[in-house]
Structure 1
Amino acid sequence: ALFFSLLTIPFLLLSQQELAPIEDQSSVFVISSPPPEASLAYTHEHMHDVVDVMNNLPQATYMWQIINPGGAVGGQQFVDPGERDFTTQDMMPLTYGRLSKVPGLQAFPNASPSLPSAGRFSVELVVTAAASAAEMQPYAEKLLAAAYASKLFLFADTNLKIDFPQAHFELNRDRIADVGLTVADVSQQLSTYLSGNYVNRFDLDGKAYRVVPMLEDRDRLDIYALQDLKIQTPSGALVPFSSLARLEEKVGPRVLTKFQQRNSFTLFAGMIPAYTKEQGLSAIEKAAEEILPPGYIIDYAGESRQIRQEGNTLFGALGMSLAFVFLVLVVLFNRFRDPLVVLLGCVPLALAGALMFTFLGWTTLNIYSQIGLITLIGLVTKNDILIVEFANHLQRQGLSKFEAIRQGASVRLRPVLMTTGATVVGHFPLVLVSGAGAEARNSIGIILVAGMLLGTFFTLVILPSMYLALASKHAPEAERIKVDSSTIPAAE
Structure 2
Amino acid sequence: LVDFAKQLVQKAFGSGLFMFADADLKFDQPQVEVVFDRDKLRSQGVDLSQAGRDLSTLLGGDYVNRFSVQGRSYKVIPQIKRSGRLTPDQLKDIYVTGAENKLVPLSTFATLRTTTEPRELKRFQQLNAVRIQGVIPPPVSLDTALRMLEDEARRILPSGQGFTIDYAGESRQLRTEGGNFLGTFALSAILIYLVLAAQFESFRDPFIILVGSVPLALSGALLFSFLGLTTLNIYSQIGLITLVGLVSKNGILIVEFANKLQEQGSDKIRAVIEAASTRLRPILMTTAATVMGHFPLVFAHGPGAGARNSIGMMLVTGMIIGSAFTLFIVPSIYVLVARTHKAAAPVAVSRTDMDEPDFVEVPA
TM-score, normalised by the number of residues in structure 2: 0.79
List per-residue Cα deviations over 1:452-476 (Å, max 9, x = no partner).
3432333232223322332234455
Which residue number corresponds to residue 470 of structure 1? 337
Is 1:301 aligned to residue 165 of structure 2? Answer: no
After superposing the two structures, state which structure 1 stretch, 226-235 or 371-380, moved more: 371-380
Which residue number corresponds to residue 122 of structure 2? 257
Gaps of 5+ in 2: 348-364
Is 1:407 aligned to residue 271 of structure 2? Answer: yes
Alignment RMSD: 3.2
Distance 1:152-1:165 versus aligned 2 partners, 3 A rule: same
List per-residue Cα deviations over 1:315-362 (Å, max 9, x = no partner).
444333322211111111222222112211211122222322333334
3-state secondary structure, aligned to 2:245: helix
Which residue number corresponds to residue 129 of structure 1? none
Contact 2:268 2:340 in 1 (8 A): no
Quote the Cα distance in structure 2 between the aligned partners of 1:202 and 1:257: 39
Q: Could you tell me which of 173, 176, 183 is aligned with 2:41?
A: 176
3-state secondary structure, aligned to 1:340: helix
The structure with higher relative contact order (CA 8 Å, sep 6+) is 1
Distance 1:223-1:148 versus aligned 2 partners, 3 A rule: same
Specify the code of the residue in structure 1 equivalent to 2:275. V
Higher helix share: 2
Q: Which residues in structure 2 correspond to 1:73-222 (within 5 Å)? A: 136-222=1-87
Quote the Cα distance in structure 2 between the aligned partners of 1:148 and 1:213: 50
Specify the code of the residue in structure 1 equivalent to 2:13. Y
Which residue number corresponds to residue 423 of structure 1? 287
After superposing the two structures, state which structure 1 stretch, 259-268 or 469-478, moved more: 469-478
Distance 1:267-1:218 versus aligned 2 partners, 3 A rule: farther
Specify the code of the residue in structure 2 equivalent to 1:237. K
Contact 2:35 2:111 in 1 (8 A): yes
Quote the Cα distance in structure 2 between the aligned partners of 1:439 and 1:249: 46
3-state secondary structure, aligned to 2:62: coil
Rg comparison, structure with higher value: 2
Distance 1:147-1:451 versus aligned 2 partners, 3 A rule: closer
TM-score, normalised by the number of residues in structure 1: 0.61
After superposing the two structures, state which structure 1 stretch, 432-441 or 357-366, moved more: 432-441
Quote the Cα distance in structure 2 between the aligned partners of 1:173 and 1:439: 62
Gaps of 5+ in 1: 1-135, 482-492
By how many angstroms is 1:231 displaced?
A: 1.2
Q: Could you tell me which of 370, 376, 381 is aligned with 2:248?
A: 381
Quote the Cα distance in structure 1 between the aligned partners of 2:313 and 2:66: 69
Aligned residues: 342
After superposing the two structures, state which structure 1 stretch, 413-422 or 293-302, moved more: 413-422
Q: Could you tell me which of 109, 129, 137 is aligned with 1:244?
A: 109
Higher strand share: 1
Q: Which residues in structure 2 correspond to 1:13-92 (within 5 Å)? A: none
List per-residue Cα deviations over 1:366-423 (Å, max 9, x = no partner).
5665454344323332222222223333444555xxx224323313423233222342
Distance 1:421-1:207 versus aligned 2 partners, 3 A rule: same
Distance 1:208-1:234 versus aligned 2 partners, 3 A rule: farther
By how many angstroms is 1:309 displaced?
A: 4.0
By how many angstroms is 1:194 displaced?
A: 0.6
Which residue number corresponds to residue 323 of structure 1? 190
